[in-house]
Amino acid sequence: MRIDNLRPFKYFLVLVAVTGIFSASSALAICPVCTVAVGAGIGLSRYFGIDDSVTGLWIGGLTVSMILWTFEWMKKRMYSFPGEKPVIVLGYYALIVLPLYAKGIFGHPLNRLWGMDKLMLGIVVGSAAFFFGGMMHFHHKKKNDDKVYFPFQKVVFSVSPLIILSIIFYSITK
């Protein structure tokens, strides 16, 4: 993708950021802005030359995070319906993957790593890594009488695999 094609995107990104700053209210765990931010992040990462596999890692982590927040939100409010977990998981991935596919971001034959689209590969690996990191947090917390070993343990355990994999994927694709 040529940089000239991204100029309107830069102006849009600045407009979204300024609007967000001046209209900020209390934080919501899940919001449509998150999905827009993912799309903006892909464009911005391409502008800076970051490989799609690395971008996909973080999109996958964000997706798992939103899914888990939704599960927790539904549990607190005692909402449920038959097949809720598969529907929510498939729904979130559809909300992220389908628009990217429709815009032609997925499927370019030269954008592959190990025979798979780089962005999709990153999303799959990033989702698994973020989920694994989160489960490791809960495992260690349970072993320590339901107490964390250090402040922000949950964040460190969840984000560390994404950082490590970002470095690995970056070095592979460079």
Nearest Cα residue to 157 out of 173, 127, 141, 137: 137
Task: Look at 39 and 111; give whichever has higher pLDDT.
Answer: 111
| pLDDT > 60? residue 21 | no
Q: Within 10 Å of residue 146's Cβ, how many Cβ atoms?
A: 8
Token pair of 111 as six digits = 């954008």
The residues, any chain, with a CB within 8 Å of residue 173's CB and separated by 6 or more, are 51, 53, 54, 113, 118
Where residue 108 falls among pLDDT bands split at 50, 70, 90? confident
| pLDDT > 80? residue 32 | no
Where residue 110 falls among pLDDT bands split at 50, 70, 90? confident
Where residue 49 falls among pLDDT bands split at 50, 70, 90? confident
pTM of the model: 0.72
Q: Within 10 Å of residue 65's Cβ, how many Cβ atoms?
A: 20
| pLDDT > 70? residue 7 | no
How far, in Å, are 14, 48, 122, 130, 172 from residue 161 at the CA level?
Answer: 30, 22, 12, 7, 16
What amino acid occupies position 134? G
